[in-house]
Amino acid sequence: MIATENLTKSFGERHLWRDLDLTVHGGRMLALVGASGTGKTTLLNCLGLLEPPTRGRIVFEGRDLAASWPGRRRRFRRDHLGYLFQDYALIDNATVRANLEVARRADVAERSAALERVGLGGREKETVHHLSGGEQQRVALARLMVKNPSVVLADEPTGALDEANTSMVMDVLGEMARSGCAVVIATHVTSVTQACDDVFDVSDQAFRAGRLPRRDRVW
Ligand SMILES: Nc1ncnc2c1ncn2[C@@H]1O[C@H](COP(=O)(O)OP(=O)(O)OP(=O)(O)O)[C@@H](O)[C@H]1O
């Protein structure tokens, strides 16, 4: 579980959000929605300790990460956090395999299973910069599966993907949630929002209706 308490972020006089109380339990997927520029990415970056909040707490395992020592923050990022970035954050000139090994020294079977799951079976030796945008996003997803974190933060994880791959990404994130992970996804995509358990609109700091039955989703 990860939670915010009275979390506020301002840039100068401009408040993005104030006194935010959000809780994401393991096993749940939360969608962050809202107009462009309302602060979805900034909120993910605060949760991932890439950016300091102006005030408030970020609570993980009963402790405030925002006020923790650098060592504890590093351990949280290393041992518990998985991040799926808009720009994939892969090592461009390394192979798919090397990119997966950055996450954790997984055995061959684990790596192969993750690549099979994202439709990239047998592509371990290819260099990342030769892959398409959608394939790179799927490598990033496989890396996330290999890391097996307890908190996943995903920023527009389906941006470069077609409908079939959007559906696959959401299925994988759903499987990770069901295995106990807390998943937070910033998105503009309706079908992604519909696949989440809870929806929080950052524009007006309000919760909206969550998950639609699968048959009613439009991918
Ligand atoms: N370091 C910074 N200094 C000043 N303003 C910033 C900084 N970082 C972000 N902002 C501003 O904060 C606002 C929120 O940005 P953010 O990227 O979080 O929005 P978003 O909701 O994710 O947008 P989008 O949906 O377009 O990705 C933007 O107006 C952005 O310019």
* Pocket test residue of 40, 184, 188 for ligand 1, highest count of atoms within 8 A of CB: 40
pLDDT of 85 reads 83
Query: What's CA 97's distance to the chain center, in Å?
Result: 21
Torsion angle of C-alpha atoms 58, 181, 192, 217, degrees rounded to 10: -140
Cα distance between residue 136 and residue 92, in whole Å: 9
Q: Looking at this protein, which amino acid is placed at residue 207?
A: F
pLDDT of 217 reads 67
Model-wide pTM > 0.80? yes
Give a three-class secondary structure readout of 66-84.
CCCCHHHHHHHHHHHEEEE
pLDDT of 187 reads 96
Q: Confirm if 150 and 182 have CB atoms less than 8 A apart.
A: yes
The rounded percent of the chain whose pLDDT value lies above 70 is: 96
- Between the alpha carbon of residue 29 and those of residues 4, 154, 161, 198, the distances in Å are 15, 11, 20, 6
Q: What is the pLDDT of residues 88-134, one digit of tens each?
A: 788 889 999 998 988 776 688 899 999 999 999 999 999 999 999 88
pLDDT of 91 reads 87
Ligand 1 in contact with 207 (CB < 6 A)? no
Question: Tell me, what's the ipTM?
Answer: 0.97
Q: What's the mean pLDDT in 167-174? A: 93
Ligand 1 in contact with 38 (CB < 6 A)? yes
Determine which residue's CA is closest to atom 11 belonging to ligand 1: 37
pLDDT of 218 reads 63
Q: Which atom of ligand 1 is nearest to the CA of 202?
A: 21
Mean pLDDT score of the chain, rounded to an integer?
A: 91
Phi, psi of 187 (to 5 degrees): -155, 155
Q: Which long-range contacts (CB under 8 A, 24 or more apart) does 18-24 make?
A: 18/205, 19/56, 20/56, 20/205, 22/200, 24/151, 24/182, 24/183, 24/184, 24/198
Q: Confirm if 147 and 103 have CB atoms less than 8 A apart.
A: yes
Cα distance between residue 142 and residue 137, in whole Å: 9
pLDDT of 119 reads 93
How is the chain split into domains, by residue range?
A: 2-91+148-212
Q: Confirm if 143 and 84 have CB atoms less than 8 A apart.
A: no
Q: What is the pLDDT of residues 177-213, one digit of tens each?
A: 999 999 999 999 999 999 999 999 999 888 887 787 7
Ligand 1 in contact with 40 (CB < 6 A)? yes
Domain 2-91+148-212, CATH class in plain words: alpha beta
Cα distance between residue 35 and residue 55, in whole Å: 23
